[in-house]
Structure 1
Amino acid sequence: MWLLSVLFLLSKINVSILQVNYNEECSSSIRNVGLPRIWKTDNDEFPIQNLDFSDAKFNITAVNGDKEDKLIIRSKTCQFLSCLKDDSPQLIQTIRESLLQQPSNESYNLATPVQEYKRNALLYKNSTRRVDEKIFKGRIKSKYNIQFQGVYPQTFSEKRFHMVFFIEAGAEDFESGSTSLYFELEHNWKGLLVEPYSLTYDLGVKKNRKAYSSNVCLSTKKHPSIILYNLSTKGLDDKHGIVPNQCIPLYSLLLACGNPTVNYFSLDIEGYEFQVLKTIPWDKVKIQKQG
């Protein structure tokens, strides 16, 4: 009986330890805080006490020829997120509550009216139309309009909906150069738009796209991380970047969206594509077409 009690206690300790991802970034965050009683809980699924975000603003002067523009860049980060695994219930809940923008129920506010896109398919990005013509042949459509008001994406699994889903990482302002707008307007697809640069992301949100969106970068590790953003190259750059950017594993974002089957995945993140692909647990996701 004594031996069984000890083994049970050890198993509980091991489970608790496994819920915290003690990587280098997490350990650094812990050192800044101190004793476990300050930052850790006894809840295995929600092991971190306070996931407080740091909201910062950076005043930047952008020089374009003889013209100077004063820019304000937002940054929203949380160091302790790095202590959570990519499938952590606490991380998924935090993403839904703090980092995931719901699809808009408002009318589109695009620079080019929807009617113009409908009349002239050449206005869409050529590569996107070719994917539809060559791969999907215009046959994959969402059959139902889903009302998103207050509805979390568990709805995706309900059989009465035929959901078709895209991911566009590097979505910029959600319209110019978008590789997903065609599928949304022409075939009623739903999806996720990811853009780390706050200025273009804020412009994108105003377009009222019918897709989830997140102002984060995709993590190159299997846990959240904070990486500096280079305003010149508009990419991640820990050596020359100046704006801290919250990065989230793609798998975590998918889980926050209900882990739908991804029919089209557009990944354009300035050279970090392979590192991001390496973080995906391919046995746990369904991604049909990558562009």
Structure 2
Amino acid sequence: MILFIAYERDATQLLQSYWLSAVAVISGGFVVYTCTRVLIERENGMADILHRIRGPLHSDDRRLIAVVREHFLIPPSLLPYNLAKPQDLGYHEYSKGDSWNIIHTYLKTLFTNEPPGFFVEAGALDGEFLSNTLWLEQSHGWTGLLIEPDEASFFHLQNKQRKSWLIDACLSHDIFPEEVVHVTRTAREGKESVGIPWYTRGSAHELNVDVEPETSVFALLSEETYSVAQCFPLETLLLALNVSTVDFLSLDIQGREKDVLRTVPFSKIKIRVIAVEIVESSVDQSFIDFMEGNGYVLLNKDTLPLIRDHIYVRRDEAILHQKLKHFVFSFKSFNRKSLAFNYEKR
């Protein structure tokens, strides 16, 4: 960790000299920057563009794409996987909880016997716990992009040695890159029971995004810290990777999912299947209408809002829809109501 202290009048010059992931505290004429990385200095002529990636630069700006490609994206690992050990029973039990089973069942139906594809998972956490994409990568040879803005989670993500691109950033909810204040949650001392640490980390979110009441279990069991996170439009990241087709997009970013999808140029980027977490407890019909207007079919409408994850498939994906013709998913919810969803009833 690097600590910069400067007089307030020097802060602008400092920010122009370095690209910082920092939190600024102004007190008594001083600015204190707690920095987690310094990527590049101004002498290479990139100071202006690095300053402007905090916004606004359009998502398809070639300079922005070059900076993302050269300084932010981390290539797939060539090392063996470093996943949780079989004896970590608690981790494995909880890592298949929540709505993971529902999404996984759909993915098996849709993508078994398909050629290897490309995924994007935003809110990748450590790359294993509740991962919607690890199975596709391990068992079916897929690759993709894993997006995680929380630095502690990203550290663990890198250590998993996933065979996909990584980026320590968040998805912008505008067509421009932006900086946001990221709220990290860690389990309070003495509250680190099995499963709680990673569920708690998974509830990290952007400041001022209404995710859950302050009395929620995660707020009660966690401590919050704050950092500045760099966000990029999804289009920018895909252009930097020269990808125009995403076979599966998983969005679990604690309250910004709908905003991110509204920035996607669906006429330029083909996304075949989307799993999106919706934090609201009521059904947002306007969002469903938006997705349907962009050519998608909501597969699990009958399970909402009991299960808040929406699963969409492009309307023109005839082969995928054929696979779903005899698909039936049954489950028991937390309030013990039995539900079954049959695709043919749609």
Contact 2:65 2:237 in 1 (8 A): yes
Deviations 1:131-182 (A, max 9, x none): 233323x11132xxxxxxxxxxxxxxxxxxxxx1001000000011100000
Q: 1:282 aligns with which of 262, 266, 280?
A: 266
Structure showing greater relative contact order (alpha-carbon pairs closer than 8 Å, 6 or more residues apart): 1
* Superposition pairs of residues 11-160 of structure 1, within 5 angstroms: 52-56=18-22, 74=36, 78-81=50-53, 82-112=55-85, 125-136=100-111, 138-142=112-116
- 1:160-179 to 2 correspondence within 5 Å? 164-179=117-132
Provide closer, same or farther for how the CA distance between residues 244 and 288 of structure 1 changes in structure 2, counting only shifts above 3 A. Answer: same
Question: Does the C-alpha gap of structure 1 residues 281 and 185 become closer, same or farther in structure 2, counting only changes over 3 Å?
Answer: same
State the SS of the aligned residue for 1:74: strand
Q: Is the 2:21–2:228 contact (alpha carbons within 8 Å) kept by the matching residues of 1? A: no
TM-superposed CA distance for 1:127, in Å, is 3.0
**CA separation of 1:83/1:133 partners in 2, compared to 1, >3 Å: closer, same or farther?**
closer
The corresponding residue for 1:41 is: none
Q: Alpha-carbon deviations, 1:104-135, whole Å to 9, x = none?
A: 1111111147xxxxxxxx96942343123332
The count of corresponding residues between Structure 1 and Structure 2 is: 204
Residue matched to 2:301? none
Preserved CA contact (<8 Å) 1:229 1:238: no
| Letter of the structure 1 residue corresponding to residue 248 of structure 2 | Y
Read off the aligned partner of 1:53 and give its amino acid letter. Answer: W
CA contact (8 A) 2:171 2:232 kept: yes
Change (3 A) 1:186 1:73: farther
RMSD: 3.1
Distance (whole Å) between structure 2 residues aligned to residue 221 and residue 184 of structure 1: 29
Asked if 1:214 is matched to 2:167, the reply is yes
Alpha-carbon offset, residue 191 of structure 1: 0.3
1:223 is the counterpart of 2:176: yes
Task: Give the aligned residue type for 2:102.
Answer: S
The letter of the residue matching 1:235 is H
1:261 — aligned with what?
Answer: 245
Q: Is the 8 A contact 1:228 1:241 kept in 2?
A: no
What secondary structure does 2:270 align onto? coil
Give 1:231 deviation, angstroms.
1.9
Normalising by structure 1, report the TM-score.
0.63
CA distance in 2, matches of 1:104, 1:249: 24
SS at the partner of 2:128?
A: coil
Shift of 1:98: 1.1
Q: Percent of aligned pairs with the same residue? A: 32
**Contact 1:51–1:80, Cα closer than 8 Å, also in 2:** no
Distance 2:38 2:251 in 1: 22
Task: Tell me which protein shows more strand as a share of its residues.
Answer: 2
Matched-pair contact (CA < 8 Å) for 1:195–1:217: yes
Once the two structures are superposed, the pairs formed by residues 226-265 of structure 1 within 5 Å of their partners are: 226-232=179-185, 233-238=203-208, 242-265=226-249
In the alignment, structure 2 segments of 5+ residues that lack a partner are: 1-11, 25-33, 40-49, 87-94, 186-202, 210-223, 276-346
Is the contact made by 2:21 and 2:35 (CA closer than 8 Å) also made in structure 1? no
Instruction: Give the direction of change, closer, same or farther, for the CA distance of 1:241–1:248 in structure 2 (3 Å limit).
Output: farther
Instruction: Say if 1:230 and 1:202 are closer, same or farther in 2 by CA, change over 3 A.
Output: same
